[in-house]
Chains A and B, each alone.
Chain A
Amino acid sequence: MISPSDPAAKSIWAKLGMAFIVIALLALPFVLTQVGTAWVRITNLAILFALLALGLNIVVGFAGLLDLGYIAFYAVGAYTYALLASPHFGLSLPFWAILPIGALIACVFGVLLGAPTLKLRGDYLAIVTLGFGEIIRIFMNNLSQPFNLTNGPRGIARIDPVQVGGVDFRTTDTWFGFAVSGPMKYYYLLLLVLVVVIVVNLRLQDSRIGRAWQAIREDELAAKAVGINTTHIKLLAFAMGASFGGIAGGIFSAIQGFISPESFVLVESIMVLAMVVLGGMGNIFGVIAGAVLLSFVPEILRYTVEPLQKSIFDRVVIEPEVIRMLLFGLALVLMMRFRPAGLWPSSTRRRELRNAER
């Protein structure tokens, strides 16, 4: 008989668990479509936020550099896609060509932000990055003159959807006898990108570079003394994090078909940071859990709170948006009190916070 503690049995259970998760993730959009197509779109946005949170996790979770302007890189990626694949400039480059360009340009912006802020830490770094995020947004808002680059606050519309091979992501196709809608196609695309980003994150974390990031987070002076070029390694964190933001931004552009500076306000930066902190800084799966939770809860509220109030009071007493912010605030306070390292923290982070309390 095989006991549950037997390592062979454990690996079988792990494989079965993995297989179950894979099947569940593949079947998810079909289930969600039964509930309503809107839920597929909501799930897609949740995955986009997970991509963003994973990018920010490199900067904040791994290297310990607080970045409050992260959404700027998302904006740069989104605008890169929009400008290269819309009637605005009459360009229509293919999706797979723009995504790396977007990542590269966001990466350059990451270095642009990183270079002057290398000597700053903690609060000071947070303020400068916050300013950087706002500068990018204000530029997007005003670069309609003298040369119309961004079309200002009106934003850029009619952005090309993704087209890979002969597959058009706008229309519903029948694959293997299943009707697959546009949002469902984006879901699979996002899932694929998410898996790639997770693998990249895991591998970076467990590498010479990942250890150097952790060392800088723990003690920058000691890191220098053991021969780590902290300038170079910090810039690398900014550049890598920014690239992921740029990729997420490009996909966002393609899904939405319309972007404007309004999508990239400070609150979005704070949301992504909250996902990282709530889920558990430094732990990749914690960060994803945080992103999914913070994306879904407001939507669930939207669909339950209104009908509930209508059935009880015959009208909406408290707007769902108000309840969302109330719950959000309450959740953060409770978190800081009971699980300061996040819902699902990395073991190192948990130790750090425990030691800091002493």
Chain B
Amino acid sequence: MTDVLLAATDVSKRFGGVKALAGVSLTIGQGEIYGLIGPNGAGKTTFFNCLTGMYGADEGEFRFGGVKLDTQAPHEVTRQGIARTFQNIRLFANMTALENVMVGRHVRTHAQVFGAIFRTRATRTEEAQIEARANDLLRYVGIESRANDVAGQLSYGDQRRLEIARALATEPRLLALDEPAAGMNATETVGLRDLIVALRQDGLTVLLIEHDVKLVMGLCDRVAVLDYGEKIAEDVPSVVQRDPKVIEAYLGGSVG
């Protein structure tokens, strides 16, 4: 395997009596498309939220690019190079598509109150760069014609693309997508697939939570399966697909 980008070690998370994550360890290699699947309630989104600092893990740690990841605050995680999208799209619905992506540049730009008030040369240059970069990213995900439309009024597929563009604006090394194909029609799903492939070709590592098994199996280099907060399998898709434990988790145990 190539260099390890993200290594999770024994990550656990408990909500009251429910053990949402029970010692999950996995490694994601540089440039991989890594799928995380499992039945509903298996802990996939919990894993995402622990990784992106939405809530702290009870035990275990994440190492990102060899360095221990500070998962205390979401904005710190983003600054360290992990960007995410949400299962239920969370755009800034009343801002334009362009403004949404411009907000994504926040973490990589520096203008403070003083610069904003006095419109210093540095601030003006930075603003121009933010806008140019945001336009580039809209073009990259294929919605440049929607730049000045209000985000909430875009079609479902375009909103997903916009959320990815906003995540890309933070210059991530790892892009974590939480069920990006949920609610998409067949054409939109194919478009999304092409976009993810393009992202990998441009050097990005992708962590993908997905219910669309066909999409995951065709796209991912490796897949991990979670069930009741535990990792029950991890391998290339063709092997995972035939794993009896995985089949049992998805279809239920044999009767009798």
Q: List residues of chain A with CB under 8 Å of any chain B CB.
A: 200, 203-204, 207-212, 214-215, 218-219, 221-230, 236, 240, 348, 351-352, 355
Contact = CB atoms under 8 A, between A and B. Distances in A.
Interface stretch (B106-114, B138-146, B224-232): B106-114
Contact of A355 (B78, B93, B109): B93
Nearest to B166: A226
B120 to A, nearest CB: 11
Interface string B166-178: 1101100000000
A351 B52 CA distance: 31
Interface of B: 52, 54, 73-75, 78-79, 83-84, 86, 90-95, 99, 102-113, 115-117, 119, 123, 126-127, 130, 150, 152, 166-167, 169-170
B121 to A, nearest CB: 14
Listed residue (A200, A211, A225, A236) with the most chain B CB atoms within 10 angstroms of its CB: A225
A226 B112 contact: no
A210 B109 CA distance: 13
Given A226-B103, A226-B170, A218 B116 contact: no
Nearest to B171: A227
Contacts of B116: 203-204, 207-210
Nearest to A350: B94
B5 to A, nearest CB: 19
B38 to A, nearest CB: 22
A230 B94 CA distance: 19
A214 B104 CA distance: 13
Nearest to A212: B106
Contact of B103 (A228, A229, A236): A228
A211 B90 contact: no
A225 B116 CA distance: 23
Contact of A227 (B107, B119, B123, B127): B107
B91 A222 contact: yes
Contact of A228 (B93, B106, B110): B106
B92 A225 contact: no
A200 B116 CA distance: 8
A224 B74 contact: yes
A355 B152 contact: yes
Contact of B78 (A225, A236, A240): A225
Contacts of A207: 111, 115-116, 123, 127
B113 A236 contact: yes
Contacts of A226: 78, 83, 103-104, 106-107, 166-167, 169-170
Nearest 6 A-B pairs (CB), nearest first? A227-B107, A227-B78, A207-B116, A222-B90, A224-B74, A218-B92
A35 to B, nearest CB: 37
A208 B78 CA distance: 17
A218 B110 CA distance: 22
Given A203-B119, A208-B106, A222 B111 contact: no
Nearest to B169: A226
Contacts of A236: 113
